[in-house]
Structure 1
Amino acid sequence: MAKYKKRKDGRYHTSITLDGKKYELYSKSIKELDKKVIELRVKYEQGLMLKSPTVLFKDYKERWFEAKKPMISAKSIASYQSILDNHFTRIDYMKIVDIKKTDVQYVINDLIDKPNTANKTYMTLNQILENAVDDDILNKNPCRGIKKPKIETKEKRILTDEEFYLTEVADFNDREKMFVIMSKYCGLRPEETRALTKDDFFINNNSGYVRINKTVVYVSNKAIFQQFTKNSSSIRDIPLFANILPFVRYYLSSIQTNKLFTNLSNKKDEYMSSQSYKWLIKKIKDKIRYKAWELKIEFNEKGFTAYTFRHTYATLLYYSGINLKEAEYYMGHTDSKMLNQVYIHLDKQALRENNSIEDYIKNKLILNKQTIQSKTSVQDSVQNQIEIEKVT
């Protein structure tokens, strides 16, 4: 096992000798350094160690990607493939050693009107060139010092009180209702809900929970089953609230397949396709809209997605008094960054709507007024007594 040493700059360092050549590896954490050691050994075993200063970027990126594939999900593979195929034409036929900071900046500038894609492209290029440094092809990563493009953040929409009620009374069929329940009252990501099976539910007479440990994602409209979640923190047990337990128990007993959400076709035991999923969400939205029209309740469809239910679940945790650490577990987050923003926002909202300060000021003014009136009354009484004594 490699020995790690912490440097003065805070980074960890180790060296590995392969076939008589020494490789120096650096990272910010031991976990990340462990990963680099494993990747280096895998590449060496597969004969992917490109050391020639004449190697072209297009050849190196392909070798890098082949080594990375076994360690990432199907959806990530598709995302990386799209970036590698479409956004490095400027530097594909350049030698790795000739790529300068300016060339990297031009690659990013080409995507100035697509900030999210620019961010992914930068992150991918940074990984590839860091790898080239580890392989002793480059002395320095030309991505260093370049400002990472900011991701366009979308406001996390939640259900309004009226919409929350609409999702309770809309005329969903059993399949639609089960999807809404698992999203709204368990906070599951869509890819987690799509992967649910009967075996994931543990229910007794009065309580129960659902275990989240797998996902179904879509690549080129094809359903891909993955025996893992978004991250290690996403593996979790979510309690089933008393208000949904009877329906969950009924739904599990009513379906014929082990999978909860399958294609509505002859192939009954296959996970639902991308088209089938889109149709499910469309029907849910349509039925909410129709019930809103029927009850004359406002329903603003702008920004409404399957994630709206999950974001609403985060607010339910807040108002239920669940602390941030527990909420992080229930939501399946690796850190509390997103939830912290939600909690801070709701705290600020509560403060804005809080009347305690205003009530205190009102009470203080009333008390002051009563005190002044009392003092004035005493003074008047004393003055009157003095006047009486003068007369007598």
Structure 2
Amino acid sequence: MPTEIKKKYAYKYVKAITIGHRPDGRPIRKYIRENSRAVFDQKVRYYQTLGARGVQIASKAVTVEQWAWQWYQAYKAPKVGASQRINYETNLKRHILPVIGFMALSAVRPYHLQQLINDARREDGIPLAQGTVRQIIYTLRQLFEQAEINGLIEVTPCRRIENTATSKSSRRALTRDEEALVRRVAARHWAGPWVLLMLDCGLRRGETVPIGKSDLTRDGLLRITSSATYAEGNQAQRKGTKTAAGERLVPVPPELLAQLDRSGRYFFHGQNGKMLTLTHLRRMWSSFHRACDREAGAKLYRNKIIEHAFDPAITPHYLRHTYCTNLRRQGIDLKTAQYLMGHASITTTANIYNHVDEEDIASLQRAVANRANA
């Protein structure tokens, strides 16, 4: 327990109470200074009561950042899974605290939060998708509602906050031009085989990490039985597939099979031979995406891309989506496609199969014209 120090700073009674801890573990302290013993004792009891309730916040002038980490440690970290903890920490560190973390909790108004939502961007400056903004709003509502419940603010400022994001989470296939460009770059880029494993075999990004020569059958099929997660940090942790349906056998094009590195335990690995870290994966995709952008004609200034020619929103998931679309274009039936994709629900596969784009209509028109001229 903190010790009481008398007659310091010209106050008769002074007590330092630990009201929480910063993310790096350093304590946050509240100093209670009074000349009146009765008032002093009343304040001490008040803050100690908050501490006993798990709140441990001492002042209505506490900042959003101070309360955010107290709220997270008391209400979220103990009861949510590792992936959810990462989501909450990302929302706080990347989108919320850099904007309003310095503000006094009681000074935050609805327009501050609405402006935060309106200005939310990815690291590359692209506006966030609706689903991501929805998660940020959810985090804000919980944070401020608990502040209201604990008496730190009179009323939460989160009422009537609108999701102004205009773009939905995109899960489209590459256009034929984009796919052709990706294949050209993959033919010479060091990350090409990794990219083609998603484009030509439909693997999820996490499924490319623990895959290796032991997963190849004698018939040249690839057995998918596990995936990698980074819920605990930068190092990969092996886990089962996303669903039971994720365990499957997929064919591998012979030309891709010849490119896969079978010298170690994994096709793709770090210098130590272990599974790729999250940093490795991000660097691989960043390097490959940049190469595609330059191939497409992006404008550079001092080696920095200042005008994109290759859609900056494209992620590795687009490759898997393209694989599914190509199955449909090849006439593969829906049930077989569901198996190859590892979808638990055939509806998920059908949603991709049902997406007919302008290029499909143009191909149909060319086919009809060819039959007419035959």
1:4 corresponds in structure 2 to none
> Separation in 2 of the partners of 1:288 and 1:331?
32
Matches within 5 A, 1:230-241: 232-233=242-243, 236-241=246-251
2:94 corresponds in structure 1 to 82
Residues 1:93 and 2:104 are matched in the alignment: yes
TM-score normalized by structure 1? 0.53
Taking a change above 3 Å as real, the CA distance of residues 176 and 93 of structure 1, as seen in their structure-2 partners, is closer
Q: Is the 8 A contact 2:338 2:346 kept in 1?
A: no
Taking a change above 3 Å as real, the CA distance of residues 126 and 196 of structure 1, as seen in their structure-2 partners, is same
> Separation in 1 of the partners of 2:58 and 2:266?
51
Matches within 5 A, 1:127-146: 127-131=142-146, 142-146=157-161
The share of aligned pairs that are identical, in percent, is 14
> Separation in 1 of the partners of 2:185 and 2:59?
67
Q: Which of the residues 261, 264, 280 maps onto 2:268? A: 261
Q: Is the 8 A contact 1:314 1:331 kept in 2?
A: no
Q: Which of the residues 160, 183, 186 maps onto 1:167? A: 183
Q: CA deviation at 1:331?
A: 6.3
1:112 corresponds in structure 2 to 118
Taking a change above 3 Å as real, the CA distance of residues 325 and 192 of structure 1, as seen in their structure-2 partners, is same
Which range is displaced more, 316-325 or 63-72? Answer: 316-325
Taking a change above 3 Å as real, the CA distance of residues 277 and 180 of structure 1, as seen in their structure-2 partners, is closer
Taking a change above 3 Å as real, the CA distance of residues 322 and 141 of structure 1, as seen in their structure-2 partners, is farther
Q: CA deviation at 1:179?
A: 0.8
Q: Which of the residues 62, 69, 91 maps onto 1:62? A: 69
Q: CA deviation at 1:125?
A: 0.3
2:325 corresponds in structure 1 to 315
> Separation in 2 of the partners of 1:135 and 1:324?
53
Q: CA deviation at 1:86?
A: 0.9
CA shift digits 1:298-356 (9 cap, x unpaired) = xx95217553422311312433444399649826689967973x44431776567656x
Q: Is the 8 A contact 2:91 2:139 kept in 1?
A: no
Report the 3-state secondary structure (helix = DSSP H, G, I; strand = E; otherwise coil) of the residue aligned with 1:152: coil
Query: What RMSD, in angstroms, separates the aligned Cα atoms of the two structures?
Result: 5.2
Q: CA deviation at 1:241?
A: 1.6
More helix by share: 1
Q: CA deviation at 1:64?
A: 2.4
Taking a change above 3 Å as real, the CA distance of residues 127 and 232 of structure 1, as seen in their structure-2 partners, is farther
> Separation in 1 of the partners of 2:160 and 2:336?
34
Residues 1:197 and 2:203 are matched in the alignment: no
- Residue identity in the other structure for 1:323: L
Q: Is the 8 A contact 1:182 1:188 kept in 2?
A: yes
> Separation in 1 of the partners of 2:120 and 2:346?
27
Report the 3-state secondary structure (helix = DSSP H, G, I; strand = E; otherwise coil) of the residue aligned with 2:210: coil
Q: Is the 8 A contact 2:227 2:238 kept in 1?
A: yes
> Separation in 1 of the partners of 2:363 and 2:105?
59
1:302 corresponds in structure 2 to 310
**Number of positions where the alignment pairs a residue of Structure 1 with one of Structure 2:** 288
Unpaired runs of at least 5, structure 2 = 1-51, 122-126, 298-307
Report the 3-state secondary structure (helix = DSSP H, G, I; strand = E; otherwise coil) of the residue aligned with 1:214: strand
Unpaired runs of at least 5, structure 1 = 1-45, 291-299, 363-392
TM-score normalized by structure 2? 0.55
Report the 3-state secondary structure (helix = DSSP H, G, I; strand = E; otherwise coil) of the residue aligned with 1:302: coil
Matches within 5 A, 1:1-392: 48-49=54-55, 56=62, 57-67=64-74, 68-69=76-77, 71-73=81-83, 76=87, 77-89=89-101, 92-95=103-106, 103-114=109-120, 116=127, 119=133, 121-131=136-146, 142-153=157-168, 156=172, 158-160=174-176, 163-164=179-180, 167=183, 171-172=187-188, 176-193=191-208, 195-198=209-212, 201=215, 203-205=217-219, 207-215=221-229, 223-227=234-238, 232-233=242-243, 236-241=246-251, 243-244=253-254, 247-248=256-257, 254-263=261-270, 265=271, 267-269=272-274, 271=276, 273-274=279-280, 276-278=283-285, 281=288, 285=292, 302-303=310-311, 305=314, 307=316, 308-319=318-329, 320-323=331-334, 327=338, 330=341, 340=351, 342-346=352-356, 350=360
Q: Is the 8 A contact 1:257 1:269 kept in 2?
A: no
> Separation in 2 of the partners of 1:332 and 1:52?
50
